[in-house]
Amino acid sequence: MTARLTVATDGGCYPNPGPWGWAWATEDGNWGCGAGSVGTNNRAELTAIREALIAYPVTPLTIIYDSQYAANAVTIWGHKWVRERQVHRANYDLVKEIIGLLAARHPDANVKWVWVKGHSGHHLNERADQLASRMVALGHMHREWGFTPLSSSDYDAGVIGQRDESWTAA
């Protein structure tokens, strides 16, 4: 069995709706992030969770998050939304995809959810927030100057990075 990995997820948008960014960061220094020109903070938060699950499909995860909406949408409300096909719900498509990703995981690759208060000094949450904020800035460049920050897709624009000793916890 693979050792449990802690990953923080975060998303942001300014203004809301507007340019948005998402990010995840792991305790071992890896990260992923992406941007879009028009979206919402809730969509960004959910995208960060989705991308972390995709990046680590067979690893047991502890997901640290600061968005009550995103966690509740995935762990509480979303099951009813999907079961009753409540497609009118905001972010239904993403919530359905995340629930599918969670259901497809091996039982040994379970996910634990841990809420932390945003901007409270938690090192991984702060790192994910920094990356997501940088992606929001890229989203602004895309919107204002026509740059495509990472790819031609606003939903799946993203990059994955490797260990960065400057912020990894000791």
Is a pLDDT exceeding 70 seen at residue 20?
A: yes
**In this structure, is residue 166 part of a structural domain?**
no
pLDDT in tens, 96-144: 999 999 999 999 999 999 999 888 889 999 999 999 999 998 887 766 6
- Per-residue pLDDT, 118: 85
Between CA 148 and CA 101, with CA 128 as vertex, the angle to 5 degrees is 80
Q: What 3-state DSSP class applies to 87? A: coil
**In this structure, is residue 86 part of a structural domain?**
yes
**In this structure, is residue 170 part of a structural domain?**
no
Stretch 152-170: mean pLDDT, rounded? 46
Q: How many domains does the chain have?
A: 1
Q: Are 77 and 94 in contact (CB under 8 A)?
A: no
Residue 131 has, within 13 A of its CA and on its CB side, a CA count of: 28
User: What residues contact residue 170 under an 8 Å CB cut-off, 6+ apart?
Assistant: none
**In this structure, is residue 168 part of a structural domain?**
no
Query: If pLDDT is split at 50, 70 and 90, which confidence band does 154 have?
Result: very low
E-strand stretches of 90-138:
111-115
Say how far apart CA 30 and CA 168 lie, in whole Å: 9
- Per-residue pLDDT, 108: 92
Q: Give the single-character DSSP code of 132.
A: H
CATH of the domain at 89: 3.30.420.10
| Residues spanned by the domain of 76 | 5-161
Is a pLDDT exceeding 50 seen at residue 167?
A: no
Q: Are 9 and 64 in contact (CB under 8 A)?
A: yes
